[in-house]
Amino acid sequence: MSDKTHGNDANIGSKENVASEKSLDGPIGIDSHPKTSNTTTTVSDEGTTSEFDVWWNVPENEDPANPRNWSNSKKWTIIASLSLVTFLTPLASSMSAPGVPQMLTDFKTDSTLLATFVISVFVLGFAFGPLVIAPLSEWIGRVPVYHVCNVLFLIFTILCAVSKSMAMLIVFRFLAGCAGVAPITCGSGTIADLMPPERRGVAMSLWSLGPLFGPIVGPIAGGFLVEAKHWRWVFWVIAIVSGASTILCFFTLKETYTPVLLERKAAQLRKETGDSSYRSRLHSDLPKKELFIQSIIRPMKMLLCSPIIFLMCSYVAVMYGLLYILFTTYTFVFEEEYGFSSGTAGLAFLGSGVGMLLGLAFAATQSDKRIRRKIASGEAILPEDRLRYTLIVPACLCLPVGLFIYGWSTQYRVHWIVPQIGNAVIGFGMIAILMCIQTYLVDAFPIHAASATAANTVLRSLLGALFPLFALKLYDRVGLGWGNSILGFIALAIAPIPIGFRIFGERIRTNPKWQVKF
């Protein structure tokens, strides 16, 4: 076979990868498999070539059906549309936070547990939704999943707006989270479908704006909306914007998942020729029921069986849990310690927003630089190139440092600008390290990027929902200073994880003992 590569990553299309696709085995990273030729035939499981195996036209970098060859305007329109929806659903996770006191009054309860749970239950939905959404996206395609989930999110958001009890509100908040997580779960997979590795960092940066800026912009807008109107208007506004974005997505989103596109191409050839022998090169001989079951368990299998995914996802999960402790308590802290109103309390999130914006710019400019340099010099590209020391070391250290600044400045009621500086430091480190890890997982598992992201989303959302439940009690017990210092020490203790994979990641990925069939 030729040593030429095709336009959809060197991992896709080799003999080894065809076999692994049939057994649902995932790739182990960029350039980790032998290259394949650009012919329309391939090596079958029996070792013979077949003219009926359907692949991209030759040469692949000129096939207009291959998403990698679509125009830049088409690619960026898709990514921008996904980024909008990916921004909207996390926005909904926290936009209602300033209205919690009104909710407690309207529903006649004073439970501090319900006060935090009504916000964090949305993120709990983020933990369960990906277990179905990610496998479905790799079974029927990305676009049907996006459209169905967008419509369901709109419906559940409207039901939140008309809730008659706290229990009803909590249930529909959870269901809205389950549906709204689709772009967060599958977005990285769509980017992997569209973009080559050397352009993936910038695309991931744009897409990552939503999950991190949504929870920050939400309380700012929600604070003034709650003060001017009522907490129910928060959900009506989200529903209006969600309806508009859903309509937009029907026109802009296109299917990008290679196995689905090749299956469609094979079906078209069978129809045109009347020959039932044509099939996708990535076709699986497993019965549909068994294939779906294996797809459903793949995210959890990846999480539990791959040391790379388990440790990286655990790091992100703890980091996300710490972030949501802050997000769900900012309103209480700044109202009680600094006398902010329900409207201005939302401004407490601005520090994190500024820090994340700076961190995003830093990560976006640095992430692809080394990749492009290695391509120019003819060196092999490795997923570990995303974990540059100049990125991950300062990012990992920013988290504990920011928590110490925020905690002790609020403890002694230092001017509010000081805890905002601490929040900015936290935000900077948070988005920089999240960008590195997400892009690393996409590069290491390109075919099953959606499942890898789902594993990441499940664990981080679970801790993001559960950690805030004890936050107020922690602060009441030991104070804001020591409470946030404890969180800072946790962040410091787990900092070696991404640094360790920068050193040992390639050795673990290529060690047969750690390679798992997905």
Higher pLDDT among residues 194 and 207, named by residue: 194
Regarding beta strands 42-43 and 279-280, do their DSSP bridges make them parallel or antiparallel, or are they unpaired? unpaired
Helix (H/G/I), strand (E/B), else coil: 318: helix
- For residue range 205-257, what is the model confidence (pLDDT) as tens digits? 778 777 767 777 777 788 788 888 888 999 999 999 999 999 999 999 999 98
**433/124 Cα distance (integer angstroms):** 22
The stretch 265-293 carries a mean pLDDT of: 78
Report which listed range, 10-19, 61-70, 90-99, 245-254, is most confident: 245-254
Split at pLDDT 50, 70, 90, the class of 50 is low
Name residue, tokens 């679970």: 462
- For residue range 464-497, what is the model confidence (pLDDT) as tens digits? 777 877 777 888 888 899 999 999 999 999 989 9
Angle ∠(328,331,334) on CA atoms, nearest 5? 130
Helix (H/G/I), strand (E/B), else coil: 511: coil
Least confident of 16-20, 98-102, 106-110, 274-278: 16-20
Split at pLDDT 50, 70, 90, the class of 12 is very low
Instruction: State the average pLDDT for the chain.
Output: 79
Contact yes or no for 212/378 (Cβ under 8 A): no
Regarding beta strands 53-54 and 49-50, do their DSSP bridges make them parallel or antiparallel, or are they unpaired? unpaired
Name residue, tokens 């902010």: 340
Question: Is residue 40's pLDDT more than 50?
Answer: no
Split at pLDDT 50, 70, 90, the class of 518 is low
Which token pair is 426?
């936290």
Long-range contacts of 267-275 (CB under 8 A, 24+ apart): 269/54, 275/52
Least confident of 185-194, 418-427, 481-490: 185-194
What is the model's pLDDT at position 341? 75
Residues 6+ apart with CB under 8 A from 469: 113, 116, 117, 120
What is the model's pLDDT at position 239? 94
In the chain, how long is the greatest CA-to-CA distance?
78
What is the model's pLDDT at position 51? 64
Report which listed range, 82-96, 369-383, 465-479, is most confident: 82-96
Contact yes or no for 412/99 (Cβ under 8 A): no
- Cα-to-chain-centroid distance, residue 341: 33
Extents of the domains making up the chain: 15-64+256-283, 72-252+293-514
C-alpha to C-alpha distances, 140 to 256, 261, 292, nearest whole angstrom: 11, 10, 10
Residues 6+ apart with CB under 8 A from 507: none
Question: Is residue 414's pLDDT more than 50?
Answer: yes
What is the model's pLDDT at position 360? 81
The stretch 430-439 carries a mean pLDDT of: 84
DSSP sequence for 485-510: HHHHHHHHHHTHHHHHHHHHHHHHHH
The stretch 19-24 carries a mean pLDDT of: 34
**276/198 Cα distance (integer angstroms):** 39
Q: What percent of the chain has pLDDT over 70?
A: 85
Angle ∠(438,78,199) on CA atoms, nearest 5? 50
What is the model's pLDDT at position 428? 92
Q: What percent of the chain has pLDDT over 90?
A: 20
Question: Is residue 26's pLDDT more than 70?
Answer: no
CATH topology of domain 72-252+293-514: Growth Hormone; Chain: A; (1.20.1250)
